[in-house]
Structure 1
Amino acid sequence: MNVAKVFAVTVLAGSVSIGLALFGERWLDPDDSAEARRLAVGSPDGLIETLPDLRLPRLDGREVRSSSWAGKLLVLHLWASWCLPCQREMAILDSWQQRYANQGLQVVGISIDRADAVARFLEAHPVDYPILLGNIETVRLSKQLGNRTGGLPFTVIFDALGRRVFSRTGELDRAVFDAEIAPRLAQRR
């Protein structure tokens, strides 16, 4: 085989490889629907649509992953010990957790506060759901989940499949439970 043929075959093979690398992923992907792309990268408005892989510590330092709540209706609640609306809301969330845990509800608090302040607060106001310690990355993530102002309290709900179905900055009340949580719990039965 002459050198010119080897060179031509090498250039052709290289060109095909580069072309597939650049364009092939979309061309060869059988699930290239707009919905699949939207869920993979977030919504058109830049919000994250699915439960992210969170890894946050509890007060005792043990790391907890969001995957540990797979299959549950998950209510993530960002709060701080100095936030009065957060404190009022925690009592409501605690009652929901106690009453509906056996139906698949999981409330998780993520404190945007110092660990010592969280420990003091929980000593005086214990709750029956996990409390994790957030950080600056958690605040950034909350904005991607719908907390555009970065305010507290912030609550985001994920269905049993991990899809974001609700988010709100500000205090929750019974009406939110009735509209956003109760129907999803009823669907699980």
Structure 2
Amino acid sequence: MNKKVNKPRLAAYLIVAAAFTTLGAIAAVKQDTKAAAGAAAGNSGAALYAQSLNDLSGKPQSLAQWKGKPLLVNFWASWCAPCVQEMPELSALAAKDGGKRFHVIGIGIDSPSNLVQFTQKTKVAYPLYVGGMGATDLARGLGNTAGGLPYTVLIGADGKVIKTYLGKLKFDQLRADLARL
């Protein structure tokens, strides 16, 4: 009797899960389209450069120090599985380039203690800043209207947003975009 009762429930759960997956995919496609349109419209990184965020040692850092340099800004959190999964490859990419053609920075939407604990376990080859929950507004200003993570923004040396990436990075595409800098 229990098997008959569980099968309809399982089917209902699967239908609901499939519906949410479909809605999530639609939202991601729409967000990517909006982000691409925003980048094409020439959104500026001015709001980013106006910020001062603490580094992981608690020292305030002006993000204006990145003005005039091609910049890849990764918004992430230690509790975000896709963020954590992409960090080793993003770190390797940053270390390989060494700031010759572009720079990478990470802005953590998390508590300072969580970010510090994370970096004690995982080495990161680029500067990390503590943005806290307030950094979600900064990410929105750079095109992340969905508020999802990870969210990465490619900004040209002229301060204009070139491209945005919502979700886990596709590194082949990112490398191709970086090669065009």
TM-score, normalised relative to structure 2: 0.72
Aligned match of 2:93: 96
CA distance in 1 between counterparts of 2:51 and 2:177 reads: 23
CA distance in 2 between counterparts of 1:179 and 1:142 reads: 23
How far apart are residue 65 of structure 1 and its match?
1.4
Bigger-Rg structure (1/2): 1
Provide the alpha-carbon RMSD of the alignment: 2.1
CA distance in 2 between counterparts of 1:152 and 1:165 reads: 19
4+ long deviations beyond 6 Å: none
Alignment of 1:143 onto 2:140: yes
How far apart are residue 114 of structure 1 and its match?
1.1
Q: Deviations over 1:137-179 (max 9, x none)?
A: 3211211211111011010111111111111210112222233
1:1-189 pair list within 5 angstroms: 48-52=43-47, 53-184=50-181
Kept in 1: contact 2:105–2:127 (CA 8 A): yes
CA distance in 2 between counterparts of 1:141 and 1:83 reads: 18
Which has the higher relative contact order, 1 or 2, with Cα contacts under 8 A spaced 6 or more apart?
A: 2
One-letter code aligned to 1:75: L
Kept in 2: contact 1:58–1:131 (CA 8 A): yes
Q: Deviations over 1:78-110 (max 9, x none)?
A: 100011110111112101111112423211010
Structure 2 segments unaligned to the other structure (5+ residues): 1-37
TM-score, normalised relative to structure 1: 0.69
One-letter code aligned to 2:117: R
Number of residue pairs the alignment of both structures matches: 142
Kept in 2: contact 1:153–1:170 (CA 8 A): yes
SS in 1 for 2:162: strand
CA distance in 1 between counterparts of 2:138 and 2:42 reads: 10
Kept in 1: contact 2:54–2:60 (CA 8 A): yes
Structure 1 segments unaligned to the other structure (5+ residues): 1-42, 185-189
Percent identity over paired residues: 30
CA distance in 1 between counterparts of 2:128 and 2:119 reads: 9
Aligned match of 2:14: none
Kept in 2: contact 1:47–1:146 (CA 8 A): no
CA distance in 1 between counterparts of 2:102 and 2:170 reads: 16
How far apart are residue 47 of structure 1 and its match?
8.3
